[in-house]
Structure 1
Amino acid sequence: MKAVVVEHFGGLEEVKMADVPKPSPAKGEVLIRIRDAGVNPVDWKIGEGALKDKMPHEFPLILGWDAAGEIAEVGEGVKGFKVGDAVFAYCRKQVVRHGTFAEYIALDAKYAAIKPKSLNFAEAAAIPLVALTAWQSLFGFARLKEGDTCFISAGAGGVGSFAIQFAKWKKATVYTTASSNHHGYVKSLGADHVIDYNKEDFAEAIMKHEPQGLDVVYDCVGGSTLRASFPLVKKGGSLVSIVNFNVEELGKSYPIRTGFVFVAPNGEQLATIAGLIDQGAIKPAHTEELKLEEAVLALKKVKAGHTQGKIVLKVS
């Protein structure tokens, strides 16, 4: 099968098309014929070796962790799926090698879910990693609830766009940052207060509205944005980051809960999210579809940042 691989860590110049063996499903696995694969910042980071000390890798390494497609084969003992089912999944494995920038992937069946019926494959492929990240951060770690106030940085991004919607679904008050050309987009997702980080200090703007502090801060940016966010959280509140591994160390002097979330595959949560999408409670992210052969261009665009929504690769 054709796939986008790296044979050793390095820059985007190491990313190339290759012919690799087609996988077969083991016991408890399904083989997914991939129609579209989502592109995420972690993909170029994997290629550069940024996570080589966090998880084992093997080469040649197929990039990509998001997929939407159809069940091509069902392994022994699998229940709930049949050949031809349209599914989507976050496909990270314990050893990073077999990714989704390829025509097929064999995956533990419990990580897959039936694709939202209201979405096409491109829209569905843009969802798993970012939606699960937002879900597990806001509800798993931060325990966001109705009536809470929260700040979500980078609201127009892939994770931010779902985080805003999940927070509004829980009837929380949402503050977010976005450049002026993305204000209409994040407002359409439900953001109550949108701050242009190019024109004003987001922390000062939030404290004018919430002098008592926020219940939850969701950091999708890191760096100076994260450092300025700690004082925004009220005593006993939560700050969760998906960027800084050392967030607990940075926030230890504040009387708040801090934590880093690295998203885990979860088919049950994906099924719940699919239901919310089909009910109209959650809208898919704005999606730009490129060809699999344009993977390097897609990775360049994601690495440059400032994208609205998600980029996906059309595989078949």
Structure 2
Amino acid sequence: MHAVQYDSYGGGTSGLKHAEVPIPSPKKGEVLLKLEAAALNPADWKIQKGMFRPLLPRKIPHTPATDVAGEVVEVGQGVQKFKPRDKVVAFLIHANGGGLAEYATARENLTVARPPEVSAVEGAGLPVAGITAHQSLTQAAGVKLDGSGQQKNILITAASRGVGQYAVQLAKLGNTHVTATCGVCNIELVKSLGADKVLDYKSPEGAAPTSPSGRKYVMWSTALPASPGQLLSLI
């Protein structure tokens, strides 16, 4: 199958190479996916740069990307939730990667069904960005997404990016007033996601936003790293 890999640290995009590699076989508790979309995250270029060595990646050459969407084509021993032709979203774990290829294996417990109304591209953008936003809101900021908690004023920076877009929408499920910052060209987009107030981050007000209450904001959008296991709570 076709894959995109790198065989040394550094190099950025010029260090990526097209390669022909065997189609992997699913092990116990895994599914084999024919990939339809993959998303890249900051961790992917940091791993390539060597910022996490010797822990990551597990071996070289490495096929990057962990956030994927695709179709199940084969299931390993013990898999019960999925069958061939199921459409899914999966997280592949950073140690192994594998998302920039035609096929990849994923753990059953890090794979979820993809609803028909969610495209492969939309689904692939969910795992790391969505989990990070969810974890930041519920664990760091203490927002109750059922709206039952005390009202909070929340500032979400870089609100037009992956984590920011999820953070705005999830925050509005809770009892929150959301102030968001982004580039001027994305203000209408962020407003459409539900933010109560959207500021150009280059403007004087956007550079030093104030809370409606005059008190310190509860949350910044990059608060915590994500836990892969929380993928199941998001879909």
Is 1:190 matched with 2:194? yes
Alpha-carbon distance change, 212 to 203 in structure 1, aligned in 2, over 3 angstroms: farther
1:145-224 equivalence runs, <5 A: 145=144, 146=149, 147-202=151-206, 204-207=208-211, 209-214=212-217, 216-220=218-222
Which amino acid counterpart does residue 148 of structure 1 have in structure 2?
A: K
- Displacement of 1:41 after TM fit? 2.5
Cα deviation code 1:16-38 (max 9, x no counterpart): 11111211111111111111111
Describe the superposition over 1:218-239 as per-residue Cα deviations: whole angstroms up to 9, x where unpaired: 243xxxxxxxxxxxxxxxxxxx
**Partner of residue 29, structure 1:** 30
2:138 is paired with a residue of what secondary structure? helix
* Aligned counterpart, 1:273: 234
Q: How far apart, in 2, do the equivalents of 1:177 and 1:98 lie?
A: 32
Rounded Cα–Cα distance in structure 1 between residues aligned with 2:55 and 2:215:
37
Instruction: Report how far residue 54 of structure 1 moved.
Output: 5.7
State whether residues 136 and 219 of structure 2, in contact with CA within 8 Å, keep that contact through their aligned partners in structure 1. Answer: no
SS in 2 for 1:68: strand
Q: Which moves more between the two structures, 73-82 or 119-128?
A: 119-128
Contact 1:60-1:97 within 8 A present in 2 as well: no
Distance 1:83 1:172 in 2: 42
How far apart, CA to CA, are the structure 2 residues paired with 1:128 and 1:52?
A: 23
Long gaps (5+) in structure 1: 221-240, 242-260, 275-316
2:138 matched residue in structure 1: 139
2:136/2:221 contact within 8 Å kept: no
Report how far residue 138 of structure 1 moved.
Answer: 1.4
Aligned residue identity for 1:154 = A
Counterpart in the other structure of 2:113: 114
Identity of counterpart residues, as a percentage? 36
Higher helix share: 1
Deviations 1:99-129 (A, max 9, x none): 2011111111000000122122122112222
Gaps of 5+ in 2: none
What is the Cα deviation at residue 86 of structure 1?
A: 0.3
Partners in 2 of 1:111 and 1:53 — Cα distance?
24
Deviation string for 1:253-278 (max 9, x for gaps)? xxxxxxxx322223xx545433xxxx
**Which of the pair has the greater relative contact order for Cα pairs under 8 Å at 6+ separation?**
1
For 1:176-204, what per-residue CA distance to the aligned partner results, in whole angstroms no more than 9, with x for missing partners?
11111110000100111112111114464
Cα pair 1:34 1:103 within 8 Å, conserved: yes
**2:102 partner letter:** E
Within-5 A mapping of 1:1-316: 1-12=1-12, 13-52=14-53, 55-93=56-94, 96-145=95-144, 146=149, 147-202=151-206, 204-207=208-211, 209-214=212-217, 216-220=218-222, 241=223, 261-266=224-229, 269-274=230-235
Is the 1:59–1:97 contact (alpha carbons within 8 Å) kept by the matching residues of 2? no
Matched to 1:218, the amino acid is W
1:116 counterpart letter in structure 2? P
Runs of 4 or more, structure 1, over 6 Å off, are none
